[in-house]
Amino acid sequence: MIYKKVLYLFILTAVAVNITAQSISNIIPMPVRVEKLPSSKVKLTTNSVIYFSPLFEAQTQYFKELLAKQTGILLMVKAHNSSSSSSLQNAVLLQQDSTNIDRPEMYRITIRDGIVRMQARDVRGIINAVQTFLQLAPLKKSSTFLLPAVIITDYPRFTYRGMHLDVVRHFFPVSYIKKYLDYLAFHKLNTFHWHLTDDQGWRLPSKRYPLLNAIGSWRDSTLIGHFKDTPARYDGQRYGGFYSKAEIDDVLAYAKVLGITVIPEVDIPGHARAIIAAYPGLSTRPDTTWQVATTWGMYNRQNNVLAPNDSTFTFLQNIFSELCELFPSTYIHIGGDESSYLWWKRDPKTQAFIQEKGLKNEAALLTYFSNYVAGILREKGRKTMGWHEIGEGDIDTSAILMNWADDAKALEIARKGFSVVMTPGKPFYFDHYQSKDPKDSLAIHGYNPLEAVYYYSIIPQKIKDAGLDNKIIGGQANLWTEYIGSETKVDYMVLPRMAALGENLWSGEEKKNYKDFLRRLESSAIPRYRVWGSHFFRNYREWDVKKGG
């Protein structure tokens, strides 16, 4: 036992040798431009100092901590207000530059003459620079290491680069949400879509509607196996929880340091079973005692829609006001997907409402709900985001729509004037299988291997042919967690597919080279997954698009 402790301490001790940095050809996602310089390599030691512009103070502390974890070198940090760095030596400089850095999220790393200079005009840009620098630094402990003389100039192709996480079907603690944000930052993704409400639970705190937490945040049981299995089996265990305001503030503060926008989603008027379980009067059957859903696949199978009545619209006014108090993001996601018309058709009061308002049909009622909530958000100085279904009616084109359907649907909503985030089920649903191995762990359906994620065209040819390229603002991968009940399984489903997503959204189409991507993945990303203790999918080389059948 003593020997093991001594060995462990020895491994953690910084070794006083010159370790050469990682190759600049291994960076992922691939940078726009890398220029090797004839200058000698730059040495960083325990005596090096990090200097920072005031805007980047929090990011400097983040960088300092990550560098220490990775290399064992804990550097001193100092504010540096001067634009000149000629007197600095053996230093790292995080510098705000709004003159030479002329794009959002752009950064430049210059390594020469004894200085590492990271320049950006905004927080996202400097975080991108930090992530690239950490890929150059060695993944081993040392008291000093050498960096190549180089200039790296880099910026993203798309402004919206997102990852989604459903915390309703299965709930994840703040500690893991912050780790998930670390994953986003490493892969140069800038938006976290936090799916917080659905049929199986309500994960937000609410002062005005306490039963959302007392009742709506908990389900009596959870399905075992696939929802298509017969007979259905349940575990009989009460399951749930919700985030406190302090926990949400903690996540938002951490995301702010990383330059990541957090977009919350409250899904209405469908996917509302947890709401009507807490407040039956908001349903089309107010005389019914509803239960928070214990199964998946609710569409057209179980009643889960809000009724168009005064209580519901008051609820929406209050709950989205609370949401705006909790979250600072410009855009708020209102869901709008899979609103089953069946229950509205069967309800006389809903039919009377449709006639009273002069609505054509149930599809127009969905638009009515969407416009109502969009109006609430507009009064709060916010904007609307939703799934593509809300764009099928007459809603203001200032809303950003997420297209989870096919390219034809993307073209349809782009032609209407909407800005579109591409998040198609094939291949950007990471809850789908990444192998055809019958021994693989349970997933919902479909096959989205790493290669498919990498090669998917964010701007489909149909969009290009129509001259609507500018309507596609980016993309996002979604992780619905019906069959993902642990942090380990989340890791397994998103890694390394998140790396393919990140490069697809960051680098230009003309640079796509899957063979080289795999080389860089295995040189730079996979080693970090191992160091982080992340349980990534290891058989990605075995499964490609052709094996999908």
Respond yes or no: is residue 198 known to be catalytic: yes
**C-alpha–C-alpha distance, residues 65 and 67, integer Å:** 5
Kindly report the three-state secondary structure assignment for every residue of 47-69: CCEEEECHHHHHHHHHHHHHHHH
Question: Could you say which of 271, 333, 388, 432 is catalytic?
Answer: 271
Looking at residue 545, the DSSP 8-state letter turns out to be G
Respond yes or no: is residue 406 known to be catalytic: no
**C-alpha–C-alpha distance, residues 311 and 96, integer Å:** 50
Angle between helices 123-136 and 174-186 (to 10 degrees): 80
Count other Cβ atoms within 10 Å, centred on residue 120: 31
Q: Which strand (E) or helix (H) includes residue 144?
A: strand 144-147
Respond yes or no: is residue 510 known to be catalytic: no
**C-alpha–C-alpha distance, residues 451 and 199, integer Å:** 33
Residue with tokens 């100039």: 153
Q: Any idea how long the chain is?
A: 549
Tokens of 74: 């804990």
C-alpha gyration radius of the chain = 25
Question: Could you say which of 250, 337, 338, 522 is catalytic?
Answer: 338
Query: Strand order in 144-147's β-sheet?
Result: 18-20, 144-147, 42-45
Question: Could you say which of 97, 105, 198, 199 is catalytic?
Answer: 198
Q: Which strand (E) or helix (H) includes residue 450?
A: helix 450-455
How, if at all, do strands 107-112 and 115-120 pair?
A: antiparallel
Type of residue found at 352: A
Residues designated as active site: 198, 271, 338
